[in-house]
Amino acid sequence: MKDALRLELPVLPLRNTVILPHTTTGVDVGRPKSKRAVEEALNADRYLFLVAQKDPEVDDPAPEDLYGVGTLAVVKQAMRLPDGTLQVMVEARHRARLQGYVAAPYLRAVGEVLSEPPLQDASLARVLVGEVQEAFERYLQNHKTLRLDRYQQEAVKSTLDPAVLADLVAHHATWPLEEKQSLLETPEVEERLKKVLALLLRDLERFDLDRKIAARVKEQMDQNQREYYLREQMKAIQRELGGGEDFLTEIEELRERIEKKGLPEGVKEKALKELKRLERMQPGSPEATVSRTYLDWLLEVPWTEADPEVLDIAVTRRVLDEDHYGLKEVKERILEYLAVRQLTQGKEVRGHAPILCFVGPPGVGKTSLGRSIARSMNRRFHRISLGGVRDEAEIRGHRRTYIGALPGKIIQGMRQVGVVNPVFLLDEIDKLSSDWRGDPASALLEVLDPEQNHTFTDHYLDVPYDLAKVFFITTANTLATIPRPLLDRMEVIEIPGYTLLEKRAIARHFRWPFQVREAGLEGRLEITDRAIERIVQEYTREAGVRNLDRELSKVARKAAKDYLESPWEGVRVVDAQDLEAYLGVPKYRPDRAEKAPQVGTAQGLAWTPYGGALLTIEALAVPGTGKINLTGNLGEVMKESAHAALTYLRAHREEWGLPEGFHKDLDLHIHVPEGATPKDGPSAGITIATALASALTGRPVRMDIAMTGEITLRGRVLPIGGVKEKLLAAHQAGILRVVLPKENGPELKEVPEEILKDLEISFVEEVGEVLRLLLLPAAPPPVGPADRPQPGAGA
């Protein structure tokens, strides 16, 4: 047999195992073809080929399902078990390469026996033998399941033959079939020893890593068990002290909520630390209540929850048009702002997203614009009123050391909306106050600064909170009272008052249908445009439409009562002459300007937080000692304008024909009617100068012209603010000509076209132009009795 190189023998396919030479092992044979192969070998010379299957799941393997290299083995013993299985003991002797299969009722192949090649380097082989034996000894010590008897261990230790040692170690090691097959297919002894050593060292490194991981896991488990044991002890102590099961259940619920909430790492750490403090407290103690409330706030404030945002300016335009009439410039500004947000969506643009600030009179739709923006973006809306807030803690919250401490309005609002990306409307930001308790406007700097608000810290929570995803909108009636640093962080969008035509359209298309529905009179009540105009002019006086809405509501409610008392058929129409029956006597006379020229009286225009208004200024010169009396609840700036106007007239006395020495011989009284209303500002300068010049010269002033402009001592007319509102007031009062400073000319682009087409605008640069335009020639003296013609007298 030893001299044979090519053999034709039965083939025994093996599942999940590779049998290497120089080993003796048992094999259970149960498949019919395999049993037939063993029986043929027993009937012949007991030799067969042992070949591993590539896929152990194949029950009837074909030649292509077997590896090409196997082992030549001799059957030492075969025993049939009661279930028909053959238990075969085989002695593997040589490697063999199968060269082809022959036809047979079982697997039979021709194979070439591979002899062991001579050693290339005997000294290297000896070194490798020692290293493999040492590594295998450590492998046995660290392996969790592999156990060899003393005979097997001694066989490995005492083997000096490199080829035998390599096969013995591979036979005992728990390596995958593919790795053992690779060793079987490696005939060179040194190369085989190197592979065996590499596999042993790999497993030793893995054993070491597993041991370290196991030690770490054990340590963690010991810590967890210790905490569990201590927690159970604490529960038992609390039960003895009367803590009750409810408190313990509450602690566990809080722990579970903290784990599930998805808090930022620093916040979670602080929450767990606070929970440990709470566990050590008595349930009924005040400190426990404080800790419990604090944990509730941490868990109820949103940290990651967000609504899916919709950024589509087409949708926003549609929503704004549905909810608001007019405001074309305002809507364009909003759409421009949101277009940038849409194009930069998903990009890091922190520090480049200003806060919107809507500035305008009451009732023009600032708050409702915020609601519409939120609706168009699919965001939740929350309004915070800042009017009268004078305590910094209202914004930043109180520290937990105070009794009854709570977070500030910002964190309270975040808890209420429940998402990290709402629309926040900070209403009446110009009404903030400050006192010894702090300056809330300064606290708002961190809230509204895109560079800082991603780490906003509320004094109560005492952890950074990200406000960067909140869309902040602020509203104000005037910019004058907003602190400059706060205003610098906001994008101002001015919302002017409505014209008569706009108010009529808003009432007709928006507010009247709503009030009729609210009153339950749909299809039964209508109102004419003349009635709406009369309500605007005689029952309301405002820049917005809030009072107009109230008056329309009164009409609808009165009609509802009448309908229940005496139902009518068809549709009742409310006309202008019917309004006194619904709303009573008109509250205001139409603000119509006087048209007849007056001496010592001039028609000015003023800006108020509620829109523009006519400002009549009266001046009277009486004998006296040169005193100046200013009345009408005037502010310091307006008083200074009066003195500047008087000084200008003294400097140009001869040019305008003023009495010589009038500043010493006459007392001048300047009065602005409606003294209960405070008035201030420099824009009445030219109006005061005109009234004074008229009073001193006796020349009447044209009252069909209104004017506005600041005066200087040199007689220059400087630009003023509120041009649009002032022109709206003039138009509503029936004045068709207005005098404006020349530098205000570009601002006419903001005035509605239907207003400009009815007005004649005169631009001036000097006070002299104003006086020449406004002052009429003096009236002739009245005819006395002596000057009348006598009867019968003639030339």
**CATH classification of the domain holding 762:** 3.30.230.10
- Token pair recorded at residue 466: 């990200």
91 with 153, same domain: the answer is: no
Which of 469, 445, 474, 439 has its CA nearest to residue 457?
A: 445
Q: For residues 755 and 680, state if they share a domain.
A: yes
Is 544 known to sit in a ligand binding site? no
The CATH number that applies at residue 578 is 1.10.8.60
Residue 15 is assigned to a structural domain of this protein: yes
Residue 664 in any domain: the answer is: yes
Together in a domain, 689 and 611: yes
Q: Give the model's pLDDT for residue 561.
A: 92
- Is residue 590 in some structural domain? no
Q: What is the pTM of this model?
A: 0.58
Does the active-site annotation cover 123? Answer: no
**Which amino acid, 408?**
G
pLDDT at 265: 87
Residue 792 within any structural domain of the chain = no
Separation of alpha carbons 431 and 481, rounded Å = 7
Tell me if 364 is assigned to a ligand binding site.
Answer: yes
Residue 570 annotated as part of some ligand binding site: no
Residue 367, annotated as binding a ligand: yes
End-of-domain residue from the set 494, 528, 550 = 494
Residue 362 marked in a binding site: yes
What pLDDT score was predicted for residue 347? 60
How many CA atoms lie less than 13 Å away from 546 in the CB half-sphere? 13
Q: What is the pLDDT of residue 235?
A: 65
Torsion of CA 461, 464, 469, 473, to 10 degrees: 60
Of 514, 376, 357, nearest in space to 448 by CA: 357
Q: Is residue 308 a known part of a binding site?
A: no
Whether 37 and 172 share a structural domain: no
**Pair (536, 504) in one structural domain:** yes
- Quick check: is 789 in a domain? no
- Confidence at residue 241, expressed as pLDDT on a 0 to 100 scale: 57
Residue 140 contacts residue 174 (beta carbons within 8 Å)? no
Residue with tokens 């003796």: 24
The CATH number given to whatever domain includes residue 149 is: 1.20.58
The secondary structure of residue 264, as a DSSP letter, is: -
Amino acid in position 695: A
List the catalytic residue out of 726, 742, 757, 762.
726
One domain for residues 716 and 654:
yes
Is 469 a residue of the active site?
no
Residue 788 lies in a domain: no
Low-confidence ranges of the chain (pLDDT < 70): 1-4, 230-248, 283-284, 345-354, 435-437, 590-593, 609-611, 676, 779-795
Domain co-membership, 245 together with 385:
no
Look at residue 793 in the predicted model and tell me its pLDDT: 33
Distance CA 50, CA 54 (A): 13
Residues 381 and 360 in one domain: yes
Structural domain contains residue 259: yes
387/420 same-domain check: yes
Residue 517 and residue 486 share a domain: no
Q: What is the DSSP string of 624-660?
A: SSS-EEEESSB-HHHHHHHHHHHHHHHHTHHHHTPPT
d(CA 16, CA 37): 19
Name the residue with tokens 């020229």.
597
Chain Cα centroid distance, residue 680: 41
User: Of 454, 476, 494, which residue sits at a domain end?
Assistant: 494
Structural domains in the chain (count): 6
What is the span of the domain harbouring residue 190?
122-209
- The reply to whether 397 and 515 lie within a common domain is no
Placement of tokens 């006459």 in the chain: 666
Query: Can you give the CATH number for the domain in which 51 is found?
Result: 2.30.130.40
Domain boundary among 463, 478, 494: 494
Residue 390: inside a domain:
yes
769 and 713: one domain?
yes
Catalytic residue chosen out of the listed positions 331, 683, 694, 724:
683
